[in-house]
Amino acid sequence: MRTFTRWFHEFFLPHIRSTTKDNGLLIMDNWGPHGAKISDPFVQVTMLPFPPNCTAVHQPMDQGIIQAVKMKYQYKLLSKVFETVEHRDELQQMSSRILAGTTGLNEGKQAHLLDVQCIL
């Protein structure tokens, strides 16, 4: 419960406040720590937990959402690969002074974790 509370107050709320002044809705499962009495002191974010035992009803919908996210991610990553292939030699020459292991698609090299993270 402490981890969720800390995440909510120290990371989630500041991020929301830095991006928008509009009200928001945080939809979450009803797992124990998530059901804690946590609230936004400025009432910008309202928390809405799912009702108990709704997993069997909603889980089939998750598959469609997960598939859509995977397809979008794969499309973006492949687009980035194709985008850099045309200029690969130029990118590699420009990045020749960068340390090995820190280069990725932007430098004409193989994709690494930073590339994967930045695609989303």
pLDDT per position as a tens digit, 20-64: 888 888 877 766 666 567 777 788 888 877 777 776 666 666 677
Predicted local confidence at residue 31, as pLDDT: 67
Asked whether the predicted pLDDT for residue 114 surpasses 60, the reply is yes
Domain ranges, ordered by start, for the chain: 1-52, 58-120
- Cβ neighbours of residue 17 under 8 Å, at least 6 residues apart? 44
How far, in whole angstroms, is CA 46 from its chain's centroid? 20
Predicted local confidence at residue 61, as pLDDT: 66
Predicted local confidence at residue 57, as pLDDT: 67
Contact 80, 59 (CB under 8 A): no
Mapping DSSP onto H, E and C, the string for the chain reads CHHHHHHHHHHHHHHHHHHCCCCEEEEECCCHHHHCCCCCCCCCEEEEECCCCCHHHHHHHHHHHHHHHHHHHHHHHHHHHHHHHCCHHHHHHHCCCCCCCCCCHHHCCCCCHHHHHHHC
Predicted local confidence at residue 1, as pLDDT: 63
Instruction: Tokens 């794969």: give the residue.
Output: 74
Predicted local confidence at residue 39, as pLDDT: 76
The predicted-structure confidence for 57-107, as pLDDT tens digits, reads as follows 666 666 777 788 888 888 888 888 887 877 777 777 777 777 666 777 777
Predicted local confidence at residue 70, as pLDDT: 86
Predicted local confidence at residue 36, as pLDDT: 62
Contact 105, 86 (CB under 8 A): no
Higher local confidence (pLDDT), 18 or 107: 18
